Amino acid sequence: MDCAYRIEDGAVARIPLQEAIEYRGAGFVWIHLEGSDDIDRETLQRDPEVPDVAANALVAQETRPRCDRIRNGAIVNLRGLAVKSEEDDDPLVSIRLWMCANKVHSRSRRRLAATDEVMQQMGAGLILDPGDLISAFAVAISARLDPEVAALGDDLDDCETGFEEGQVYRLRPSIARIRSEAISYRRFVAPDRDALTAIAAQDFAWLSDDDRLHIREAADRFARMTEELEAVRERAALIHEQISDMRAEQIDQRSLVIAVVAFIFLPLTFITGLLGMNVEGIPFAHSPEAFWGVVALCVLLAVVVMAWFVRQKWLNR
């Protein structure tokens, strides 16, 4: 959804894009674009106040959080939660901004969840300059992303509880999902922190002390989320290793049982095979009591072997 706002003498008005591009007054204009690269590039090229470097950064295919100063303006990229859509599985989307004293161009390829909140603040007259706008985006993005990161930690706590209760194999898909999401979030949350720290350190006239305070607060929240994601990733890896160790231990125990059974039946198989040969001279071949004698011998031999295993404590391993 493309839109443009103008704030002049404290009054907020939503204006057409072309009027916002041509505006040269003393007020503040915010132009937000969403959609096709070609259409957005044409819109940006019509505004002479947007440098070519900034225009290319706004319509770039792949971006990461950053902050670069160009004279009295700045290119700021942030990454936040997107409005959920069935067409795209990526939960994060970038918001790219070119900011100067009286005008801000912003663009996102998909709908950013924090954009509606920022637009509401703009309509209520709470955003009066570029500093207010970037601080509003920083606070809104971090506030929406924080519960998602906390939810990953809570899900991992549930997995650890289930692990203690012995529900190991049921947890493997959940642990893999949590670890994957933590890695995906960590890839952009840490650069978000660095970008906000960089913009807060700039000495722009349109960036007030209150704006810097809010930006640093959002950067601190991103730093805390980064630490939480690293902890989640390490804990998930540890649980995965424990599951692998438990699986290997179960395989060892089952192999031991098979080996014990095979060792018990090995001498029994030898005796029965020896007495079952179809040759002359087999002892007690014509004795009716010989069968029960062989059975008794096999049972005694099995008991002796089992007692030896118990004495060696193999069955307790």
Residue pLDDT, tens place only, 286-303: 777 777 777 887 888 888
Residue 241, domain CATH: 3.30.460.20
Residue 264 belongs to what domain range?
Answer: 248-312
Query: Residue 277 and residue 36: Cα distance in Å, rounded?
Result: 86
Instruction: Give how many domains the chain has, as a whole number.
Output: 2
Same structural domain, 117 and 259: no
The domain that holds 260 is classified in CATH as: 1.20.58
Residue appearing with tokens 């939503």: 14
One domain for residues 134 and 277: no
Same domain, 184 and 301: no
Residue 265, domain member (yes or no) = yes
- Block residue for tokens 């160009």: 70
pLDDT at residue 142, rounded to an integer: 92
User: Which tokens hold the place of 296?
Assistant: 């008794």
Question: Which among 217, 245, 273 is the end of a domain?
Answer: 245
> Is residue 123 included in any domain, yes or no?
yes
Banded pLDDT at 214 (limits 50, 70, 90): very high
The predicted pLDDT at position 78 comes to 92
Domain boundary among 211, 227, 245: 245
β partners of residue 78: 95
Higher pLDDT, 1 or 244: 244
Residues 166 and 265 in one domain: no
317 within domain boundaries: no
pLDDT of residue 143: 92
Say if CB 196 and CB 211 are below 8 A apart: no
Given this model, what pLDDT does residue 22 score?
82
Same domain, 129 and 265: no
- Write out pLDDT tens, residues 26-35: 888 998 888 7
Can you tell me which residue has the tokens 């990161």?
149
Specify which of 31-45, 73-87, 116-130 reaches the highest per-range mean pLDDT: 116-130
Per-residue confidence band for 160, with pLDDT thresholds at 50, 70 and 90: confident
